[in-house]
Amino acid sequence: MNTLTFAIAALIVDLAVGDPRWLPHPVIGFGKAIAWFERRFRVSGMSPAQERGLGIALVFFLLAVTLIVSFVLLKAAAMLHPIVHVLLSIWLISTTIAVKGLKEAAMQVYDALAAGDLKEARIRVGYIVGRDTDTLPEGEVSRAAVETVAENIVDAFVSPLFYALLAGPYGALLYRATNTLDSMVGYKNDKYRYFGWASARLDDVLNYVPARITGCLLWFVALLSRKLNARESMQAMLRDAAKHPSPNSGIPESAVAGALGIQLGGENRYGGVVSVRARMGEAHRNIVSGDIPLTVGMMYKTAVLIMLLLLILAGWLWWRP
């Protein structure tokens, strides 16, 4: 019941205030720890086996540090007062959720496109995607924003809440540490192919169940909306999700693509190198800037749906004999 209460309160906090910049954020600490470890222990000339072994050590290092620091903080908070412990638990979980932040970042791209400032839109979408954005046309800028919102519905709140329900702030923080590892070193390029292998695989494992829960929630959101196509959403997931190189990202992307009647995926450039991603959904129409707020709306409705389900569960636990 405590972890359920903490998860509900943390989601409310994120939806209301997001991540104020004046407060310290665990993800910044994760990033600094990962960078320090890589600078300190990774040297040139290592064999693939050594790189992979060091990458595994990095995972254990960061998760151990996360667990120890969070335990000390929560123990100290409990010694001060039970209310302090509760408030800190809620805040720590809320830092692993990013619904409001993802919405604001995506809507900044939309606002620039709506104002006719394609150059600014390219800059803003470059903050939230890894692909080259300097020469993207308007439709491709919109596609990039839609794809990152759709994909990150899992990372931004479904997975953190899932692990918060299982293990409170410890579960949420350990998940976010793993997700930060994947975002920093979990690439299949020459630099991180072996060093980031463990980080990428662990992130895939942790997101496996939440990604499939997300697909079901997105389909239900589409079912409740007149503007969205639930049948196409389900068909796209069943037909296209497995084509994605990630075992998880294809599920929310294909669900959103089908619901909107657009096609995601295609050709992207990373550092000037062309990468062709599998196509999700059928192109009943071209992607437009208006698809960005529609996708953000699907994300928020998914968050509200989760909130309602958690409140129903809390009520049942409270009133059961």
Question: Which of 3, 29, 185 has its CA nearest to residue 93?
Answer: 3
Distances (CA, A) of 143 to 73, 129, 139, 151: 41, 11, 6, 12
Residue 159 has pLDDT above 80, yes or no: yes
- Delimit the domains of the chain by residue range: 2-319
Please give the Cα distance from 270 to 292 (Å, whole number). Answer: 22
pLDDT band at 18 (very low <50, low <70, confident <90, very high): confident
Tell me: the pLDDT tens digits for 87-146? 999 999 999 999 999 999 999 999 999 999 999 999 999 999 988 999 999 999 999 999
Q: Return the minimum-mean-pLDDT range out of 163-172, 205-214, 276-285, 311-320.
A: 311-320
pLDDT in tens, 38-75: 999 999 889 999 999 999 999 999 999 999 999 999 99
Query: Which pTM does this prediction carry?
Result: 0.94
Residue pair 18/104 in contact (Cβ under 8 Å)? The answer is yes
Say what angle helices 2-17 and 99-114 make with each other, to 10 degrees: 20
Residue 30 structure tokens: 């994760």
pLDDT digits (tens, 9 = 90+) for 210-259: 999 999 999 999 999 989 999 999 999 999 999 998 999 999 999 999 99
When the pLDDT of each residue in the chain is averaged and rounded to a whole number, the result is 94
State the pLDDT at residue 269: 87
pLDDT-derived band at 275, boundaries 50, 70, 90? confident
CA distances for 173 relative to 48, 85, 182, 227, 246, angstroms: 30, 16, 14, 36, 22
Residue 303 pLDDT class (50, 70, 90 cuts):
very high
